[in-house]
Amino acid sequence: MTALHLQNIQKSYGVTKVIHGIDLKIDDGEFIVFVGPSGCGKSTLLRMIAGLENITDGEMFIGGARVNDIPPSQRGIAMVFQSYALYPHMTVYDNMAFGMKIAKAPKEDIDKRVQAAAEILQLTPYLDRLPKALSGGQRQRVAIGRAIVRNPKVFLFDEPLSNLDAALRVATRIEIAKLKSSMPETTMIYVTHDQVEAMTLADRIVVLSAGHIEQVGAPIELYEKPANLFVARFIGSPAMNLQPARIENTGEHTVINLAGRQATVPIPSPENLAGASAHFGVRPEDLRIADDDDHLLEGTIHFVERLGEVTNIYLNVKDVDEPVVVKVPGVQKHDKGDRLRITANPEKMHLFTEEGRSFLYL
């Protein structure tokens, strides 16, 4: 079991700083997911942990040992890349065994580890095949198996599913979850821009933006209690609805003016925010169609997405710049141009300061 500790980790390319003082503790056996938009620094941070990128400033510890100047081959880390990078002329067995052969490990040890990894990844029937005879998901499992046979302290995954089609992504994601269950003492760090992968695989998610950590927490914590507007927008699909509001009364409950209507949000607010601008947020799945005059917002339907299990309704609301998205179960009969009133459970409402911080974290 191996813990990682990153202290004020920074990375610069010349005068351009891309990682800005990352502080993070990863416990033994955790499955951590780095998530964020393209260019946020998640892959760069992963490569710094692997030793493939130099650390400009700060200190990194793996298993209690400082590794800033330790080469990648001596860090006890195995990395699975977006590209399978398999040797096309080698069988599955030889691809998985190659690293141990180069290290001149005994043949008995090589065979034992390859067979064990193949069993974990359900590759035993394919050990004599060449990569060209495998599906994309099977090739990615071979790449994962090649990492497993090295018996590393830490697994690093750099967007391993991004080259797969939708069905294979789901199947391989399940295989990675099974892999983690079969290796509970192994620390794993996984990079993705796909929040579904993050929400379903992670023990904790690290949300990154422009080289900074925005929030670290369990998937449901980030979903239910985003620390700021960035996390609120990034976690969830469709994204959280966010509208400008004004604080009218503060206290244990906050009264806001939202598109000309009053709403009471059961979130405490300090007195000095009375009269201040804010952002009101509610997730599309927490909105529902109102049956009476007791509604939160009213608008005209702009667009309808009928997906079968759910229907996404895009609502144009007066004095609100962006459409409000309502996610309701099943197939709905509402069409473009219809007027609709919507409401929400107060417990599911969110408030953010004008600067973007959640009231829950004030």
Per-residue model confidence (pLDDT) at position 151: 83
pLDDT 10s digits, 206-256: 999 999 999 999 999 999 999 999 999 999 989 999 999 999 999 999 999
The predicted pLDDT at position 172 comes to: 83
Alpha carbon distance 285, 289 (integer Å): 11
Domains located in the chain, CATH noted: 4-233 (3.40.50.300), 234-361 (2.40.50.140)
Q: What is the pLDDT of residue 184?
A: 86
pLDDT in tens, the chain (362 residues): 589 999 999 999 999 999 999 999 999 999 999 999 999 999 999 999 999 999 999 999 999 999 999 999 889 899 888 888 899 999 999 999 998 898 889 999 999 999 999 988 889 999 999 999 998 888 988 998 998 898 888 999 999 888 778 888 888 888 888 888 888 888 999 999 888 899 999 999 999 999 999 999 999 999 999 999 999 999 998 999 999 999 999 999 999 998 888 889 999 999 999 999 999 999 999 999 987 778 888 999 999 999 999 999 999 988 778 899 999 999 988 899 999 999 998 899 999 999 999 999 88
Which contiguous run of DSSP H or E holds residue 112? helix 107-120
* Gap between the Cα atoms of 56 and 339, Å rounded: 56
Please tell me the predicted confidence (pLDDT) of residue 161: 85
- In order of 195, 196, 279, 282, 333, the CA distances from 313 in angstroms are 22, 21, 21, 14, 11
The three-point CA angle 47-48-49 to 5° equals 90
Residue 275 CA to residue 270 CA, distance in Å, equals 11
Query: In terms of C-beta distances under 8 Å and separation of at least 24 residues, what long-range contacts does 248-252 make, across chains too?
Result: 248/274, 248/275, 249/274, 250/274
* β partners of residue 246: 257, 277
* Whole-number Cα distances in Å, 16 to 13, 23, 210: 5, 20, 12
User: pLDDT at position 281, please?
Assistant: 96
| Inter-axis angle of helices 107-120 and 136-148, nearest 10 | 140
Would the pTM of this model clear 0.85, i.e. be above it?
Answer: yes
